[in-house]
Amino acid sequence: MLTTDIPPNQTIYIRNINEKVKKEELKRSLYALFSQYGRILDVVALKTPKLRGQAWIVFSEVMAASNAVRQMQNFQFYEKPLRIQYAKSKSDCIAKAEAEKKKRVDEGQPAPTASGPRSDTNGGPSAAFRQGKPSAQEAAAEPNNILFIQNLPYETNSMMLELLFKQYPGFREVRMVDAKPGIAFVEFEDDSQSSVAMQDLQGFKINPQNAMVITYAKK
């Protein structure tokens, strides 16, 4: 195991990343993929010769980092298996947050929670959101094996969506609509498999601003 000699902490270290992936696309893809385990405070990826193929992800909770290390070990990311362990040193943003917290405690002020309500899912969608009433569009389309994804960030590409959806059994393909950014179709083998993915990823945030809206595609 990669993690035996390093104690669990909020920052994970990832190596064996495909070096051909551009820095900004890499950071967006890592955020989209790993934010399902908890709220992400920072993603660090540098393209200097010594740091190519590596990245660090800082979570707000140790539990989120632990789940990511356990569940994403050897995940095929841009055609290479990820090697993941806890980071050896505390990240800058965690060190600063702890220093600020200590300062507030020393001054007798209550320490704030880590910027907002906690969510163990993705830093956004709550159970109420996931179980809310279906939209008119969702109600209009009968359950089927193709999902219609809306409210995607402009920079979303098919690889980012594939990384998310291929974790679910029965995944077939992602189809983007070049003429209309912000939407996509994801196909599964049958409607029971597409339903599981819809329920799990409804409201998932590919970035902090955009929560995915998922419905069945109209046939």
Tell which wins on pLDDT, 164 or 137: 164
Give the up-direction half-sphere exposure of residue 147: CA atoms within 13 A in the CB hemisphere.
31
Q: Which burial class, exposed, middle or buried, applies to 25 when counting CB atoms under 10 A from its CB (0-12, 13-18, 19+)? A: middle
| Predicted confidence (pLDDT) at residue 107 exceeds the cutoff of 60 | yes
C-beta of residue 194 within 8 angstroms of C-beta of residue 200: no
Residue among 23, 39, 170 nearest 94 (CA): 39
Q: What is the mean pLDDT of the chain?
A: 81
Tell which wins on pLDDT, 184 or 49: 184
At 94-104, the pLDDT tens digits run 666 666 666 66
